[in-house]
Amino acid sequence: MDETPVVRIRGLVKNYKDVHAVRGIDLDIPKGSLFGLIGSDGAGKSSTMKTVAGVMSYDAGSVNVFGNLIDSESAAERIKLRLGFMPQGLGQNLYPDLSIEENINFFARLRLVKSEDLGERKEKLLRMTRLDKFRDRAMKNLSGGMKQKLGLVCTLIHEPELVILDEPTTGVDPVSRRDFWAILAELLAEKGITALVSTAYMDEASRFHSAALMHHGRILATGEIESLLRMAPGTVASVAAQPQLEALKRLRGRFEQVVALGNYLRVFVPEQTADAEHVVRDVLKGLDVTEVQTDTPELEDVYVSLLELNGEGQAVRELPSPPEGTVIHLDPNAPVIEAVNLVRDFGAFRAVDHVSFEVRPGEIFGLLGANGAGKTTVIKMLTGILRPSEGAGSVAGADMRHSGSTIKKRIGYMSQAFSLYLDLSVVENIRLYAGIYAVPQREIEPRLRWIVDLAGLEGMENALTGSLPMGLRQRLALGCALVHRPPILFLDEPTSGVDPMGRREFWDVLFRLSRQEGVGLLVTTHYMVEAEYCDRIALMHAGKVVAYDSPAGLKADVEKRFGQLLEIRCENPYRAQSVLRDHGFEDATLFGRRVQVLARDAEAVKNDVRKVLDAAKISVQSIGRLPLTMENVFVQNVLDLEHKAGLAA
């Protein structure tokens, strides 16, 4: 790899009036690397990328690209044909009324691609992205994943030396996300291009060669992924223990990072603790500990540790007890939500296709899938906003077809579109929702104080909601949905854009609401990592439930049907992936500088992989087993359905 960085940033500062978006960062991006900017909304990722792309000016510091100082429009003009920029948002660089092929041809002409080069490049990129069968479809009629893959094709059609991709996988289904990364990795290997990619998904870190962890306009740490993971040495222990709330209290009395994930508690045990499992069991002595599993930390553990070292972590607060007053009581032995063969058609399009599930009191139920999977439509039917085309259901003991007004009084609903009024203060929003839900006047003040305490907004009661950080806004929205003390909560993608620390705090509140107050929760998300927080999950794809079980049950099912996940560390992983696929390992996938495969017989596959790579003169450092992720679960289920549909056709 060339020692001269393609991008060199020194002391970069970017302000938007009083908002300090980027605060004096330094960054080098090596040639031929896949470099990630990782952080939540507001971390400064997009502003940094736009200055590198030359589409935004900056206030101080320097940005050099290909050795050129980008300090003017003319300087940006000199490098524009050598780079490709894909802005944030599904299809933001595309034209909705043009077809796939027309969009590609337009960008080729814009980028001065010679006609003799266009045909071969276009066909290859369409084939790689699996868009070749849809070339005449208008961009506005594409799924989110297809839009992003088309955006990538249009960004790459002139074969740039540097590709800048701003959160390209946000809102994209896991299958399309996997395709997206595979295409990018192959092009890096073939063309030697450099890619600068931003993401808010910590689990995508393994895809990068190197990364910078960003927070509030600063870089917390930068380096190769392996070196970043070593910055918070320790062990992660997953613990199943009862009573769970008592176990949570004890573990938090000893360790900084403890997260409730469904029936498990996930504990980060620092390196100085000799035997993580022994120490955890000792802390929980006297409780019913049925399982303790240990694993290596993930990048999110590092990120949270770095925030705590920088004084930006927050101590976990006890959930305040709700005030006395009017409470809605339901049958504790009956499901709080029940869906039976729900169908919703919009003309000829079937958005929801015979969906069935139930949610129990005190359960966190996850409805997972990409944007467009049908999750929000299911919620709208259950809450009486939309009538189903077929099927039945009940919510809070009321028939969803005939009792919409009753249901609305018995549930809390936090919508995907932000549900607060940003030009009202914190207390004004709470009072507004108390009025909407007809909370008795004498109960409003106690509930207002409870919500302020719940959301951690003490001292900010009169602040405008629009001025709050995203994590605090989301907790306020949750409090407003709880102002009438409902026994059921619907939360539609509640943590979108929230940083890892804020996401953990939000889910901690949800966990304790379910366990302490017995609230039944239905949560939708396209963020597969959040599936681990749920007790049970329905995975949705194209309007259908493709899998339905606990996270552990779903993983066990995939492992039984498709095999264990193996990670291969070797030299030249790009070529290794190609060689393995040529020898029958069709699911070989690149993750950064490693290759992953599924194996029904792990030992036999390890031997076969070594033989194949040895014959290709590719040195293998190690082959080890990895735990399956919920993304693996989703991808394998969807690919299996697509394979069966192909065979049936």
CA gap 108, 498 in Å, rounded: 37
CA gap 195, 198 in Å, rounded: 10
Last residue of a domain, one of 199, 228, 257: 228
Assign residue 32 the CATH number of its domain: 3.40.50.300
Q: How many domains does the chain have?
A: 4
In a domain, 187, yes or no: yes
- Residues 537, 571, single domain; the answer is no
pLDDT exceeds 70 at position 502: yes
Q: What is the pLDDT of residue 100?
A: 95
In a domain, 267, yes or no: yes
Give the 3-state secondary structure of residue 194.
Answer: strand
Residue 230's contacts (CB-CB under 8 Å, 6 or more residues apart) are none
Assign residue 243 the CATH number of its domain: 3.30.70.270
Residues 383, 490 contacting (CB under 8 angstroms)? yes
- Residues 353, 369, single domain; the answer is yes
State both tokens at 64.
């050099």
Question: Could you tell me which of 23, 27, 22 has the C-alpha nearest to residue 10?
Answer: 27
Mean pLDDT of the chain: 89
Give the 3-state secondary structure of residue 607.
Answer: helix
Question: Could you tell me which of 328, 369, 614, 299 has the C-alpha nearest to residue 489?
Answer: 328
In a domain, 106, yes or no: yes
Please tell me the pTM assigned to this model: 0.83
Query: In which region does residue 105 sit, left (phi positive, over 0), alpha (psi from -120 to 50) or beta (all else)?
Result: alpha
Q: How far is CA 386 from the centre of its chain?
A: 28
Question: Could you tell me which of 385, 388, 382, 380 has the C-alpha nearest to residue 346?
Answer: 388
In a domain, 330, yes or no: no
Last residue of a domain, one of 194, 209, 228: 228
Averaged pLDDT for residues 578-594: 88
- Residues 160, 128, single domain; the answer is yes
Instruction: Compute how many other C-beta atoms are within 10 angstroms of the C-beta atom of residue 460.
Output: 18
- Confidence band for 521, pLDDT divided at 50, 70 and 90: very high
In a domain, 304, yes or no: no
- Residues 447, 561, single domain; the answer is no
Last residue of a domain, one of 529, 549, 569: 549
In a domain, 205, yes or no: yes
CA gap 236, 332 in Å, rounded: 35
Question: Could you tell me which of 240, 109, 129 has the C-alpha nearest to residue 178?
Answer: 129
CA gap 629, 588 in Å, rounded: 16
CA gap 506, 502 in Å, rounded: 6
State both tokens at 628.
């399956």
- Residues 389, 533, single domain; the answer is yes
- Residues 276, 373, single domain; the answer is no
Structural domain of residue 571, as residue ranges? 556-648
Q: Which of 335-344, 465-474, 541-550 has the lowest mean pLDDT?
A: 465-474
- Residues 147, 105, single domain; the answer is yes
Q: What is the pLDDT of residue 649?
A: 47
Q: What is the pLDDT of residue 614?
A: 95
- Residues 523, 588, single domain; the answer is no
- Residues 416, 513, single domain; the answer is yes
The 10s digit of each residue's pLDDT in 362-382 is: 999 999 887 678 888 999 899
Q: What is the pLDDT of residue 593?
A: 81
- Confidence band for 1, pLDDT divided at 50, 70 and 90: very low
The 10s digit of each residue's pLDDT in 245-262 is: 999 999 999 998 899 998
In a domain, 598, yes or no: yes
- Residues 23, 141, single domain; the answer is yes
In a domain, 124, yes or no: yes
Print burial letters for 267-288: b (CB count within 10 Å at least 16), e (below 16): bbbeeeeeebeebbbebbeebe
- Residues 575, 589, single domain; the answer is yes
- Residues 467, 522, single domain; the answer is yes
Could you say which DSSP state residue 98 is in? Answer: S
The 10s digit of each residue's pLDDT in 279-337 is: 999 999 999 999 999 988 888 888 888 887 776 655 556 678 888 777 777 888 899 99
Give Dmax (Cα) for the chain. Answer: 79
Q: Before 243, cis peptide (omega within 30)?
A: yes
Angle between helix axes 115-129 and 144-156 (nearest 10 degrees) is: 150
